[in-house]
Each structure stands twice: as structure tokens, then as C-alpha cells.
Structure 1
Amino acid sequence: MLLKFINKKYRFELMESFTQTVKLGIVISNLIAPVIIVSILYGYISHTILLSWLFIHIGFLLMRMMINYKLITLVEKKDEAAHHYLKMMFSLDFLSAVLYGFIIWFSVLENIPDTHILLIGIIITALTTGSLSTLGSIFTAYILYLIPSFLFLISALIYHGGDIFYLFALVMFGMMGVFSILGYKHYTILRNAISLDTTFKSIYDNSADGVVVFRENNLISSNKAMVKLFKYESEAEFLSGDFRNFSPIYQPNGESSISNMHLMVRYALRDGYRSFEWLHIDKDDKEFWCEIVLTKIHLEGLDLLHGVWRDISHRKELEFIRNKDKQKIESLNEILEERVNEVLKSNRAKDKQMLHQSRLAQMGEMISMIAHQWRQPLTAIASAGAIINLKAQLNKLDKETALEVSQNITNYTQHLSATIDDFRDYFKQDKEKEATNFTYLVNSVFSIIRSTLENNNIKVIEELKCKDSFMAYSNELKQVIINLVTNAQDVLVDKKIQSAYIKLKSYSNDQNYILEISDNGGGISEDVRDKIFNPYFSTKLKKDGTGLGLYMSKTIVEEHCRGSLSCYNTQDGVCFKMELPHAQ
């Protein structure tokens, strides 16, 4: 453990700090303090012993100075041999502490006056506590000097005896612990500060961008990248130059470089930050562009500017090429825009034609549904007419019967008329969006097709929870709903599904109003599902399917209403999901 402590390797920066501070400590501990102690003990101890003790200290002083000088040289070169000389310094530090232990013990054994012993103890205590500032950067040296000094002093005081000496020993024991802890904290703070300084310096020196610190027109420091950027040989040569000469007389915008740079500096000092692009000239008078970021810093009571210079010459060349080709690109864009408009116009015409074809196809289906829906009221009207005719021939047509039958006929004809109105409204062309909701749309559609579904034993399940209104083309959305419902009906009838149903569910979330139309028809195969929204694709071609229904439904929802129409298989069948955004 002790060997590991002694053999600990310290950073060269810590050793450099040690070599600078230890000089004064060597002079005080190996010359000034010994001379004072000799003068105190002179006349009480043999002159031979005192002078021998003093000369040994002087010898230690010379050796420590020589070793320290060698350390300075090796540390500057960052030579690993410096660690060997540092261990030699540890030995001399320890022996210096032992010498003070010898003199305090000799004074006690020789019955020197108590005041003199206490005075020597105070001197040793002062030397030991003061060593924190001279040896503190190398914790091993500090401890090897601190602990022996205190232990010899404490043991001598206890041996001497007496209340004041016991109290002095107790205080010294406490101070030994306290200063050991303080020494370690001092060392760790210094080590961390040096580590941080080294890290910052490494970042500063090795940055790919040029970095400079300056005040007004005076350059204070710069990194290697900055020197290289301006084609100088060394930092000293670069810093000796006048920064005002690093720019052309005028910037490309016609403004004076000197005036404009002064303005940027004032803005940076006022606001704490400034970023701009700048045209520079290097040592060879070659122009190049930089992006400059100036940041205000406060150091040693002065307001300085920290600047980062990034070479953007290549970017500027690319900008020049881009600007040069900009007119060509704009011309091509205009031509392309014209062609796109032509294609869009053609596509709109095709979409309009497809929508018309889809409407015609659905009109045929609607007429078939209306025929089913009219059959019952027409039969009832015919029956009512037959009743009136029969009773008239038998002279049994009374007023009450005539009124009842005529009222029934009126009701039936109103129902037929309402069906015609629904049919007409459904195929009326929407010109503008209007306020509507899913409940209204579904009820409007089912007023026409519900009887057809019931005739095919298809149960309709409605879970219309979304009552919110939105702006849309109502008739177009009705077309979508009727197309999805009739498709589901065809599948359920063709597959002869038992307990067939079509479920309509509406709800909303934070972004959309949603309508889901699902069935239990067994779903859509994966290879077909990816194609169902393509134009002219149909699985009902043998039954006069146009292949336009789902294509036009998706076009209406996504292009006309800015929503989305998707489908996915469920456990029982397929579900089509219509989503319309809140903001229409």
C-alpha cells in the first residue's frame, strides 16, 4: 500500500506546479527555520550537534534545489524520468521532517526550558501547515512531510508531560487529521482544475475551426487552425499582425471592411453574441470566405471577445454555382409547371368522366333499389283502387271508406314522391361544401337502400356516436357510403352468409371524424386488397362491375375532402375506414 502510494504517477502539469511552489518551501524549511531554531537552542545544546544539524539541513537544501532544477527540465520535455527524480524529492522531504523530529526530541531529552520547546513546536507546526501551499500539488510529498513532522512532535510533547504539553499534543493530533484532509482536497481541486484546463486547451488547440481571443484590435491568443487559415508560420507571427489588415478594403457589398468589423464587434459586446459571414485575405493576399461567431467573455476583469472562424469558401463556390444555374432551373420549372398543369387538367377531365361513369353505374343500382322500394306502395295503391271500384259496383261505397282509402293512397304517393326527391338529391351536383354530419349522411342513404338490405336478410347495425358537424360535399360522401354499403351487400349475398350484417360506426378523436363500414363477409385476400382502389379494377366484372366505385370513393374522400379512405380485414370480414380532418 505504501509502495503504491509512493510510486503513484502524477500529471506533468501537477509536477510543473510543484516545481514552482516548492522553491520557497525549500528555503524556509531547510535554511530560515533551522537558523531560527539554532538561535533558540544556542547555549542549551552542544554547538557541534546544532551546527551538524544545521549543515545537514543546508545539504538537503542544495540537493532539493538541484533535484528541483532537474525536475523542471524533465517536466518541460514531458520525460518519464521526471517520476524518478520526484521520488528522490519524496525521500528528502521525509528526511527533512525526521530532522525536525530529532531536534524536538533532543530538546525534550536535554531538559530545555518549556518555553523554548513550545516555541520550537510552534515553528514545526507552522512549517508543516505551510507545506500545504508548497507541497500540496503532489499529495505524496505533502503527506510524507506532514505525518512524520506531527508524529515526532506529538510523541515528544506527550513524553515531556504536563497539562499544557498534553493540550498542545491533542491540538496537534487534531490538526494532523484536519490538514491531511485539507491537503487531499487541495490536491483534488488542483488536479481537476488542471485536467479541465488541459481538456479545454486540447479542444482549443485541436479545433478544426480557427479560434481567437482578442480585445479591440489586439489579438491575445489563437489556435493552430487560425494560424493555418491565414497561412502564417507560427502563432507568434500571426498575433504580431494587425487584424485590420486581414480583410480587403471593401467587402463584396461595398461597405468598408474596417468600419463594418468595428460595427460587428460593438454588436457582439452589446448583445453578447454576433454571427456573420466575412471576406478575408491571407498572408499571400488570397481571398477566402469565413463564417464568424463572436462571443463576449469576461476574463480577469476585462471584456474580451472569443471568436470562431470557419472557412466556408467551398460553400460559397457552391452558392455561386447554384445562383448561376438558378435561372436555368427556374426556366425548367416554368416549363415543367406548364406540363404538369396540362397533365392535371387532363387528369381532372378523366376523373370527372370516371365520376360520371361511377354515378351512372350507381344510378342503375339505385333505380333497381327504388323499384324494390316502390313495389309495396304501388301494390297497396292498386289494392285501394280495387276496393273502391268493387264497392262502387256493389253500391256499398260509403263516405268513411272512401276517405280512408283515399288517405292511404295519398300517403303512398307521398312516400313515392319522397323517394324520387331522395334520388334526385343524391345525384345533384355539389357546388360548395355545406355543414353536415355522419348521422345525416347515413340516414339519407338508408332511406333509399334499407328495404333492399332487408329483402336480402341483411341486418344493419348502427353505432353513430359522432354527432359533430363538418364542412363537406354531402352528395359526394353519400355516393361513397352507398358504394361501400352496396359492395358489402353484394359480397354477403354472393357468399350466402348466414346472419349477415353491415355495421356502421362513427366516432371522433383529436384530429379526425371517423366512419367505419364493416361486414362479416369473410374479408379480402391480401393480393386483391392492394389493388381495390385502382381504377377499372373489379372483382365483379362478370356482373357488370365498372371498377370505378372504390377508386372514385377514395378520390372523393382524399382529394375533395382532404381525408383518407383505407381498408383492413377484421376477424369476420372487412372494414372500410373513412377519416375526415377537423379543419375542413
Structure 2
Amino acid sequence: MVKENRWLFVLAFWGYTMGILIYMAFSYQSTKESILEGIDRNLHTAASAIPKILAEDFHDRAYGAGSISAEEDERNIVRLTQYARANGLHFLYTVIKEGEDYYLTTSSRSQEEERLGNYVQYFELYNDASSKLKAALGNRERGVDEYEDRWGSFRTIFIPQVSPGGRVYLACAEVDVAYVKKALSHQLYRVFGEGGFLILIALWVFRIFHGESDRQNKIIKNLIDTTDDLIFYKGVDGRYLGANKAFCDFFGKESMEGLSDADILDAEQLRLTQKSDEEVVRFRKNIRLEYGGGHPLRGRFFFSITKSPILLRGKVVGILGIARDFTREKLLEENRLELNRHLESRVQEEIRKNLENEQMLIQQSKMAAMGEMVGNIAHQWRQPLNVLGMILYQLKEESNEGKLTQSSVEGVYQESRRIIQLMSKTIDDFRDFFRPQRQRKRRSIKEMVTSTIRILDASLAYHGIECKVEIPPHLEISCVEGDFTQVILNLIGNARDAIQSNCPPQKIIHIQGYESEGAICLEVSDSGGGIPLEVAKRVFEPYFTTKKEGTGVGLYMSQVILKKHLQGEIELVDPECAKFRLKFFPSKEA
């Protein structure tokens, strides 16, 4: 009989061991998928946050080295670095494609880069990017990849984004592959350690249930007492048959034998524990759950608990459990989420401030334009008012001399009427410029430029400036005319001021239009002496001006208007003659 019981014990033990091994395999695979899913979810959230961290029109202005100010570049890097480190990521960055080449437009910094002082540069060539990343940019599809480049081996998520101006770029977030492998290795060790303990405990419990209590049992008990995990076994009636030292210490008991969960848990904890025990006994399966609560000395705690049925002769005779403390990891995760919420709040606040600043710049630009227009009205009206004055003086003289005739009165009337109509047309031109109409339609570039010059005509003539216009009549774009006019007014106004300041022998503003590689180009240059190189680097920065009474918002707002409303771009192509090139892309027009 003893021999038969021993064989039953051996079979039960090996059956239990095989069950534990199968459970370990499923547990590892399930947790591996969960870990990768958690990492990818974190990467996806971070990549999606990048457009909120950067200025909304950042990628509309990112055209070649120097197109973004050093201050803005550093601000982007700092924000991305803060977000990456708060979320345990290695890099956050953005990628664009120009021609056949790929470029990094901004990137966070790793601690290793800061230590070595070896940073990613704005608009750095990135042709060694993975093929999946390049394909994602070309196909505008999200992707996940593990690859190796000059910075190391990474697991990366990339999400295509489209700027307000229609420019496509990739927002990317990545972690070091070594970090992923470390997380998976840690889980593998945890599963094997947990399984080993369960097998060891099972051996001990089976021996106890068979009434064997010898030196080997004591050795096993001592081994179990050395672990920090909480280990227990109890009968199906809920009474504890034993527990290791860590379990007893946690609940402040010398021994757990004979006690029940009601002796150590509150009502809610007791309900959850009894429910999980019933599942183990009823379905004869291993279950895993996470459990949290409060402790009078330790405060908040969280455990990952695995419970297994103890089978003897095919019958469940008890429950074996092991609880692993993951309080530190849980609290770190909560802190990370709270930091993310705080950072998201800060990002939204920065976005709000940027929008307010932009609105303020727009308002300042309008006020500056209004002041400019008042001056132009004065120039436009000065000559016709002088002519009207002379006509009225002539009319008075003829009346005094008795030479006034019906014919001369009619002539004075017609001439005065013509001049007044001209002055009224001037008011209409200025009113059209300030009218807040937002209707887009196809318009001739030449006609819009000519109309804009008409506003400045008297001012240009007063300073002896000739405006040469060479624009084919067929060039058209879809736009709101007021937006286009404001940009051209800024450029011509700057050219006029430069010529007036430097007094060159030839006072010429040259405006030329043409088509190139699917784009409509408009170049504005002048003979005013050019722009110094140190100034040329900063002409598109807000509040930067070299004029004594300038606002520094004209060119900046011209750039904003072009990007956001005209689907175009502006660049300074030749500082020596202050040549600015405007590009309009008909394919992007709504």
C-alpha cells in the first residue's frame, strides 16, 4: 500500500510539474506579448505627441540648414529630450525627404550624446535609415521596425504626419533593442524562478501531505524562507497549512497555520481572494492576478499572485500560491503617467502661448500695414489734392477777372470729377486690402502684383523708384487676394526703404515670375545695396529688424501667410541684391 502511494505521489508530482512547465511557457509567451505591446503603446503615444511638442508650422519652415533659428532648434531638442527621458525612451525625432535624400529635422539627445558632446545636427543627412522607415514615409503608412544604424540597434515606431502646409514627415519614437531584450530576459528569469519555486514548494507540500517530515523537508523549507516572494499553501476550506517567512512577516504573524484570510484581510480583499480561490478549486487550473491594497507600515502595495491547485489522487486538496511584490514598478509607472499628463499639459500650454503670440504678431503686422497704408494714402492723395487746389485757384482768378465762362466751368467740373474719382479708386484699393474676405479663387499673379504696386505707386514715384514687372499673364494661383497682397506689400516696402536709405544711382525694384519644376516662382529683388550675411540668417525671425522704427514682423508674417494660407514658401536666394523667391505649388492647392 505504501509502495502504491509512493507511485501515486510520483505520478501526481510529475503531472503537477508538467502542468507548471506548460504554465511557464504560456505565461512567458503571454507576458512577452504584453511587454512588447506595452513598449509599442508607449512608443506610439510618444510619436503621436511629437507634432504637439513642435510648433504647428515647424515642418512648413524646415527647408535646409539655417531655415530654423538656433533658438527654436534648441527649444525643440530640450522638449523632446524631456519627454523621451520621462517615458524611458531613447530617441524622439522627425524625418523628411528632399529629392532622393532623407533628413533629420529634429531629435532628442541621449545621455551618451550629452556626455560626448556629439549631437544630431538640424537637417542632418539620414540616408542610412531603415528601408521600412523610408517606405513608411513614401507610402504614408505607420510602421514598426527593429534595425541598426550609426547610433545603435533600436525598436522604432514611425507615424506619418502632414503639416498645415501639406508637407509629409515622419514622427518617430524608439527604444534600444538591448532594453527590450533586457525586459524579456528579466521576464524569462522571473517565469523560470517562479516555476522553480512552485515545483520546489509542490515537492515540499506533497511530502507533508504524505506525512513525511524529515531532514529534506527542513532543507526545502529553509530554501523557501530565503526568498522575498510571499509563498503559502492552504486547504480547500481556506485555512492556511503553512507559509514562508516573508508571508508571515508581511502580515505580522509568527505562523499562518490554522488561520484564514478573514484573519489578515479586510472585507473587499477577502471577497477578491475567496473568489480567486474558488476558481482554482472549481476549474483545477493555475490563475494569475494582480492585487493591491494598503499596509499599516508599508503603505500602498501591489502583488502579482500565481495560484495553483494541489492535487492528490485526482482530487484538489489545497491551494498553493506565490506572490511577487511589484510595488516599486507600479508606483514608477504611476509616476510616469502623472509626469506624462503634466508634460502634456505643459505642451498644450506652450501651444496655446504660441497661438497667442502668433495672433499678436498677426495683429502687429496688420497695424504696421495700416500705418503703412495711411502713409501711402497721403502720398497717393498729395498730387491730386494739389491739382484740385490749382483748379480752384484758377477758377477764382477767372471769376475775379470776369473771364469765367460756361465752357471753362464745365472744363473745371470734368477735371475735378476725374481727380475725385481717382481718389475714390485709391480708397477702394486700400479698403479691398483690409477687407476680411476669405474666399479663395484662381487669380492672375500679374494682375495682383500690378494692383499692389498701384497702392504704392505714389510713394515709389515720390522716391524716384522704378518698378519693373516681368510676369507671364497665364500664371495663376488659388488664393485670398488680401493674403497675397500683404506679402508683396512687405517685400516691395522693404525694397523701397532699402533704396531710400542707400540712395543708389539706379533705383529699381525688379519682380519676375516663371514656372520651375511644377512650381510657380516669383522673385523680388532691388538695387538697394543687398543684405549683410549676418543679417540674412535672421531675416525671418519674429521681432528681428535693422530699421530704426521697424517692427520685425513683416517677413516673419509673410512666411507664415505663405505656409498656412498660400501653400507656398519663401526664401532669401541672393543677399547681394536682396532677392527673395516665393514658390507656389498648384498641386497642393485645396
Calculate the TM-score normalised by the size of structure 1: 0.44
Calculate the TM-score normalised by the size of structure 2: 0.43
Report 1 or 2 for greater relative contact order, CA contacts < 8 Å, sequence distance ≥ 6.
2
Structure number having the greater strand percentage: 2
Structure possessing the higher radius of gyration over alpha carbons: 1
Structure number having the greater helix percentage: 1
